[in-house]
Homo-oligomer: A and B are copies of this chain.
Amino acid sequence: MLEKRVLDKLATIVGKGNVFTLPEDLVCYSYDATPTPHSPDAVALPDSAQRISAILKLANEKKIPVVPRGAGTNLSGGTIPIQGGIVLPLTRMNRILELDEDNLTATVQPGLVLADFQREVEGRGLFYPPDPGSLNVATMGGTVSEDAGGPRGAKYGTTKDYVKGLQVVLPTGEIIRTGGKTIKNVSGYDLTHLLVGAEGTLGVITEITVRLLPLPEAKLTCLAIFNTIDEAAEAVSAIVRNRIVPASLELMDDVTISYVEAYKPVGLPRDAGACLLIDVDGSAVDVPILLEKVSALCRQQGAREVRVAKTKEESDALWAARRIRFAALARARPTIITEDATVPRPLLPKAIRAFKEAAREYNVQVGFVAHAGDGNIHPGIMCDARDAEEMGRVQLFIQKVFKTALELKGTLSGEHGIGLLKSSFLPWQHGDEAVEAMRRIKRALDPNDILNPGKIFPG
């Protein structure tokens, strides 16, 4: 509970109508896409960096936790106000401030929805690649704070590869700018990239400048169907080894295929071991040549069928299966946990074999999808958060997944962040000394530990 004096001060800063304390309001800001809700004490919706600065100064004075929030689609618990305090949704700050078509950059506010931004730039023949599954609701600020990726990561990287500058309110309330609108910039420390992926623990992002690409002239899609997941994974390795970089290279396993077909039949063969959904993009002359190369490699690796989309509608139909995957799994069991371990690309077949074996060992229901072109594997764990015995097995499975990924020189997270769910594993990947270096930076910028406390670092 916050003192009345603090609530009054909050109301003075953001306006009375933008502060919420009733339980029915707080519950809306107590969860994200993970099964670990916790209620804040208050919610305050600011509309400017200046007001956020005032809130952070107040929070430092009173030692109150503050948790910045976008659309709450976080998959690692990063948005949960685990220590209560004030949740700070940035959804009122949702404008495009500048779209500099001649410089190929845009500057936006953090509350802007990613898909709205992409529609706007694509209408002008420009391209902003990051494409997390949540793109229709996720905010630009959230995707920057989590370094969101998606299927296009294989060719286009993740959010960090596009962010060139930020306006940030530091935990202690100072408003600063980092980076800028230029392509090259090496002036002082790269605070921009320290903030990207920092999960809202080092500052509240209030403006984002991103670079844009020219929209590729053409894109084509194919779907390759394999009898075994090993064959599909080996086809991925063959494509990368042949120096072909598809725009997306998505893998779905047999379990995922069967749930997708049970939910909304899209015509995938239920006896297939796995399928690869592949987009190639580039110039109009190049793309058909690329697609032919990719299809041929899939066939060489044992694909029993390669379906090629000839129109945008056919391409959308092929993508439908991938898009409904989460909903399809969610019908099966009450709780879905999507993990995010990532390995170097050639080790994808080995990692998937090990993960499948671990699922059998701990008797855990898992449907696998992978952004296979970049080694990013999403085990979709179907379980019931109310069943302690099952959740114990799920935890053992997750631990095994991370241990395996790290043994293969991979990472705990390709695009979901560490948040709450993976904080205890952080030293497994980095070692105590690197974690301590991160903590020293956190303490240097947030001496009172008020900004999104309890995240990233182990307890």
State which of B183, B189, B343 has its C-beta within 8 Å of the C-beta of A345: B183
Stretch in contact with the other chain, from A43-51, A315-323, A359-367, A412-420: A412-420
Instruction: Determine whether A104 belongs to the interface, using a CB cutoff of 8 Å to chain B.
Output: yes
User: Given contacts A158-B186, A283-B283, A285-B289, are A180 and B409 in contact (CB under 8 A)?
Assistant: yes
- A190 lies within 8 A of B182 (CB): no
- A182 lies within 8 A of B410 (CB): yes
Residues of B within 8 A of A180 (CB): 409-411
State which of B101, B103, B149, B198 has its C-beta within 8 Å of the C-beta of A184: B149
Instruction: Determine whether A268 belongs to the interface, using a CB cutoff of 8 Å to chain B.
Output: no
- A413 lies within 8 A of B186 (CB): yes
Report the minimal beta-carbon distance from A91 to chain B, rounded to whole angstroms.
23
User: Given contacts A177-B431, A286-B286, A375-B182, are A411 and B197 in contact (CB under 8 A)?
Assistant: no
Report the minimal beta-carbon distance from A361 to chain B, rounded to whole angstroms.
25
- B158 lies within 8 A of A161 (CB): no
Residues of B within 8 A of A440 (CB): 444-445
Q: How many copies does the complex hold?
A: 2
Q: What are 27 residue pairs bridging A and B, where the CB atoms are less than 8 Å apart in the complex?
A: A100-B344, A101-B241, A103-B240, A103-B344, A103-B346, A105-B344, A158-B184, A170-B437, A176-B433, A180-B409, A182-B375, A182-B410, A183-B345, A183-B375, A184-B375, A184-B414, A186-B414, A188-B434, A188-B435, A189-B194, A189-B198, A190-B194, A190-B196, A191-B434, A213-B245, A282-B286, A443-B444
Chain A residues with a Cβ under 8 A of chain B? 100-105, 125-126, 146-147, 149, 153-154, 157-158, 160-161, 170, 174-178, 180-191, 193-194, 196-198, 202, 213-215, 237, 240-241, 243-245, 282-283, 285-286, 289, 342-346, 371, 374-376, 409-418, 422, 426, 429-431, 433-438, 440-445, 456
Residues of B within 8 A of A411 (CB): 180, 182, 184-187
Give the CA-CA distance A189 to B193 in the complex, in Å.
9
- B241 lies within 8 A of A102 (CB): yes
User: Which residue of chain B lies nearest to A376 when distances are taken between CB atoms in the complex?
Assistant: B184
- A191 lies within 8 A of B438 (CB): yes
Give the CA-CA distance A200 to B414 in the complex, in Å.
28
Residues of B within 8 A of A215 (CB): 243
User: Which residue of chain B lies nearest to A442 when distances are taken between CB atoms in the complex?
Assistant: B189
Residues of B within 8 A of A149 (CB): 184
User: Given contacts A285-B286, A414-B182, A441-B445, are A434 and B344 in contact (CB under 8 A)?
Assistant: no
- B186 lies within 8 A of A438 (CB): no
State which of B214, B416, B422, B434 has its C-beta within 8 Å of the C-beta of A178: B434
- A186 lies within 8 A of B417 (CB): yes
User: Given contacts A193-B194, A283-B283, are A429 and B102 in contact (CB under 8 A)?
Assistant: no
